[in-house]
Amino acid sequence: MTFGELTETPLGPISFYAGDRGLQRLSFSSLKVLKQNENLSSEHPSFFGLQTIGILLTELNEYLHGIRKKFSMKIDWEVLSGFQQEVLAYTSDIPYGQIHTYGEIAAALGKPGGARAVGKALGENPIPIVIPCHRVIGADGVLRGYQGGIKAKAFLLNLEGHEFQNGKIII
């Protein structure tokens, strides 16, 4: 694995790592905290991971400054399994500036009534921002949980052109 970190972003430190198959994790924490929480070391860096991290550093910085709308680095889909992989693959295709509801995603995946299961899968998204789970909201327009916190979710949606009133997104 190869590690990287952006220390000064509007969302605080953001750290990440990638391996031979692509990006595996992005965290709203310092690299030190990420490594401690996941008991990781960098004894065997990955060359492809280094390329992936280089791309992510540039693209994430561009995204957070309103320049980039889509990420191009490879994602290691093997870190996901089953339903979560289906949900996150669907979510990764939600275009910049658009939003979906948990129920819409559940219905699209053939799981009507599965909005809570979609929410759980999104809540465990190991690669937020790049896999844009922030673009998924409640059917009532209210922002639900987000790994980086509701303020981070609101920041990302606002960056993509959405406005809020009384805690709800204006659709």
- Per-domain residue ranges for the chain? 2-64, 80-170
- Contact status, residue 71 vs residue 59, Cβ threshold 8 Å: yes
Q: What is the pLDDT of residue 164?
A: 85
Other beta carbons within 10 angstroms of residue 99's beta carbon come to 17
pTM greater than 0.75: yes
| 133 in catalytic set | yes
Q: Which of 133, 136, 154, 156 is catalytic?
A: 133
pLDDT tens-digit map of 55-106:
999 999 999 999 999 999 999 999 998 999 999 999 999 999 999 999 999 9
Averaged pLDDT of the chain:
94
Q: What is the pLDDT of residue 69?
A: 97
Q: What is the pLDDT of residue 170?
A: 85
Q: What is the pLDDT of residue 42?
A: 66
Q: For the chain, how big is the Rg over CA atoms in Å?
A: 16
- Contact status, residue 10 vs residue 63, Cβ threshold 8 Å: no
Given 3.40.1400.10, 1.25.40.10, 3.30.70.100, 1.10.10.10, which CATH number is that of 80-170?
1.10.10.10
**Which element (helix H / strand E) includes 2?**
strand 2-6
